[in-house]
């Protein structure tokens, strides 16, 4: 078995998401993000993509990284999660890699006991280490908040 990942950067760290969950990669500068008042701070807002409203999440905020504006390299990785297409802002998409199972180490137990159960493993490729994220879990709390607000 193997896993294929879309690899992206936030600061100098590399993260990966299973390519099967990725709906597309968009240049962030091409879209205007409409903010959503009263939502979690990791919810950047929403965009209109081909006539559909898609929520955009900020991974920098989620991971408590220093705030950084959207640059020419910034991308939205659009993910098929929770029955809809949702995007997350990344500094840049750096690669698509295929890793064999022996190159993926499960996330340590101490990570999964925190609120960070969205880290599924660590991929190793030569000198690189790639933090593998679960797209279904990464914004589950924020997505539920949006759904609750929409229902009220």
> Tens digits of per-residue pLDDT, 80-109?
987 889 999 999 999 999 999 999 998 877
CB of 32 within 8 A of CB of 53? no
CB of 131 within 8 A of CB of 15? yes
CB of 134 within 8 A of CB of 33? no
Which pLDDT belongs to residue 140? Answer: 75
* Residue 83 DSSP SS3: coil
Tell whether the model's pLDDT for residue 112 goes beyond 80: no
Which pLDDT belongs to residue 14? Answer: 96
Flag whether 124 is in a domain: yes
Q: What CATH number does residue 100 fall under? A: 2.40.50.180
Flag whether 151 is in a domain: no
Share of the chain above pLDDT 70, in %: 88
CB of 34 within 8 A of CB of 53? no
Q: How many domains does the chain have?
A: 1
Flag whether 35 is in a domain: yes
Flag whether 152 is in a domain: no
Flag whether 63 is in a domain: yes
Residue ranges making up the domain that contains 40? 2-145
Give the burial string for 17-50 (b: 16+ CB within 10 Å, else e).
Answer: bbeebbbebbebeebebeebeebbebbbbbbebe
Q: Which has the minimum average pLDDT: 22-26, 42-46, 59-63, 144-148?
A: 144-148
Phi, psi of 28 (to 5 degrees): -60, -35
Tell whether the model's pLDDT for residue 111 goes beyond 80: no
Q: What is the mean pLDDT of the chain?
A: 88
Flag whether 52 is in a domain: yes
Which pLDDT belongs to residue 107? Answer: 84
* Highest averaged pLDDT of the listed ranges 37-41, 76-80, 140-144: 76-80
Which pLDDT belongs to residue 83? Answer: 82
CB of 60 within 8 A of CB of 68? yes
Rounded to an integer, what distance in angstroms lies between the CA atom of residue 11 and that of residue 8? 10
């Amino acid at each position: 078995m193997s896993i294929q990942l879309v690899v992206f950067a936030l600061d100098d760290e590399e993260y990966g998401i299973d390519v099967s969950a990725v709906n597309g990669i968009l240049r962030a500068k091409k879209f205007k993000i409409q903010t959503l008042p009263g939502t979690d701070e990791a919810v950047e807002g929403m965009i209109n993509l081909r006539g559909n409203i898609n929520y955009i999440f900020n991974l920098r905020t989620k991971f408590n990284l220093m705030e950084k504006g959207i640059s020419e390299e910034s991308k939205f990785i659009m993910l098929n999660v929770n029955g809809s297409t949702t995007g997350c802002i990344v500094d840049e998409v750096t690669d698509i890699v295929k890793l064999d199972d022996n190159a993926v180490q499960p996330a340590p137990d101490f990570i999964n006991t925190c609120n960070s159960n969205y880290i599924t493993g660590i991929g190793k490729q030569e000198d690189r280490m790639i933090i593998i994220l679960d797209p279904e879990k990464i914004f589950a709390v924020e997505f539920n908040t949006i759904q609750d607000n929409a229902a009220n």
